[in-house]
Structure 1
Amino acid sequence: MNLQEKIRDMEPISWSADNDHRKTFAQYPTGVTVVTTRDAFGAPVGMTVNSFTSVSLDPPLVSWSLRTSSQSRETFRTAKYFAINILSKEQTHLSQLFCSPDQNKFAEIPYIEGVKGTPLLSGCAAVIECQRQDFVTWGDHDVICGRVLRHAYHDREPSAFLGGVYGGFSARLNDA
């Protein structure tokens, strides 16, 4: 059956019926980021996020989302500043570390402090420092919007994620 036939025969979805929606969404490649901030006690907090996007260029705004059941939810809900660390292809281990339950994620990770002490991970393809603008709950996720305060990029191949597999993306528009 070709794609047109599948589309023609599509039934309304029932999200709880099965996990086929995950297979559909897994066809969309994403970048891999670690979002970082500080908690109320000043400790660094970070989590792996692939639901990051640019929202506006004027003013410069970005958004990302996290599960409402996330252990870091309250920290990011109240944080005034956060950073989007766009991982390089060589940083797959950081993606795995920051999605683990390990409470001491920053113990052996090199980072510097950005705006208001926000941790900026070393070796990233890019870093975007933000001030939180909005926090909205939609379904089982919260969407956080931030105003870009500073950003920097490096000539490193960014990490990519597709179908449950990490990889890279070396094609650059400015090389064309």
Structure 2
Amino acid sequence: MIDPAVQAASEATPDGFRTMMSGFPTGVCVVTTTDHEGAPRGMTCSSVCSVSLEPPTLLVCLRDGSPTLEAVVKRGTFAVNLLHEGAQGAAELFASGNPHRFRLLPWEQSPDAAGPHLVEDAHTVADCDVVLIQKVGDHVTVFGETRRIVRQHVHPPLLYGLRQFRGWSGT
């Protein structure tokens, strides 16, 4: 028998929506790029989705008004650093807004990279070219055609759900 209280409907509010989505665990990444002066920019993102295999395309949803989004739009490229289960600290750092985040962990950017690669914290990095941008509410969806994939480590992914980070193994 289903508890009637569980089936109770309520108006969709930002808090209710956030609570609902917290029950949908997802992988964690850091989206990176550089601004017009070459300074690195990046932010933690759990809104990542594959879109197409041909051409290989993904999307990320970035907060409207963020310096990272501004740099992605102006530069037209970005890197998606898929974090491994040992990279909770990097996820928290890039979610914190700390202006010195790139001084606090190792990264590199080769000339053919779309943005900085987090060399110790990402298990895989996708270098992407922006192909479409769509604003929805307080976020902007950026579609990126993946032009290069760099596998850096063989570690299980970092997950986020119920407002907690966990490794794939649940530890």
Unaligned runs of 5+ in 2: none
Distance (whole Å) between structure 1 residues aligned to residue 3 and residue 167 of structure 2: 27
Distance verdict in 2 for CA 1:50–1:117, change over 3 Å: closer
RMSD: 2.1
Question: What does residue 106 of structure 1 align with?
Answer: 102
Asked whether the 8 Å contact 1:88–1:159 carries over to 2, the reply is yes
* Alignment correspondent of 2:144: 146
Q: What is the aligned partner in structure 2 of residue 72 from structure 1?
A: 68
Aligned-residue identity in percent: 30
Whole-angstrom distance in 2 between the partners of 1:14 and 1:146:
30
Could you report, residue by residue, the CA deviation over 1:29-75 in whole angstroms, capped at 9, with x for unpaired residues? 01110000000110011100000111110110000101214243322
Aligned positions, number:
167
TM-score (norm 2): 0.88
| Paired residues of 2:157 and 2:167 also in contact (CA < 8 A) | yes
Match of 2:167 in 1: 168
Counterpart for residue 123 of structure 2: 125
Residue in structure 2 matched with residue 174 of structure 1 by the alignment: none
User: Aligned in 2, Cα 1:61/1:3: closer, same or farther, shift over 3 Å?
Assistant: farther
Runs of 4+ aligned structure 1 residues displaced above 6 Å come to: none
Q: TM-score, normalising length from structure 1?
A: 0.85
Structure 1 segments unaligned to the other structure (5+ residues):
172-176
Cα distance in 2 between the residues matched to 1:134 and 1:27: 29
Give, in whole Å, the separation in 2 of the partners of 1:31 and 1:14: 25
Q: Do 2:114 and 2:127's aligned partners in 1 also have CA atoms closer than 8 Å?
A: no
C-alpha change, 1:151 and 1:4, in structure 2 (3 Å) is farther
Residue-by-residue CA offset, 1:82-123 (whole Å, 9 max, x unaligned): 100001111111011111121121113211214256211112
Q: Does 1:90 align with 2:86?
A: yes
**Tell me, what secondary structure is at the counterpart of 1:23?**
helix
d(CA) in 2 for partners of 1:87 and 1:134?
Answer: 24
Match of 1:2 in 2: 2
Task: Using the TM superposition, give the Cα deviation of residue 23 of structure 1 relative to its aligned residue in structure 2, in angstroms.
Answer: 1.5
Amino acid at match of 1:148: T
Distance (Å, rounded) in 2 between the aligned partners of 1:149 and 1:96: 28
Q: Matches of 2:3 and 2:129 in 1, distance apart?
A: 43
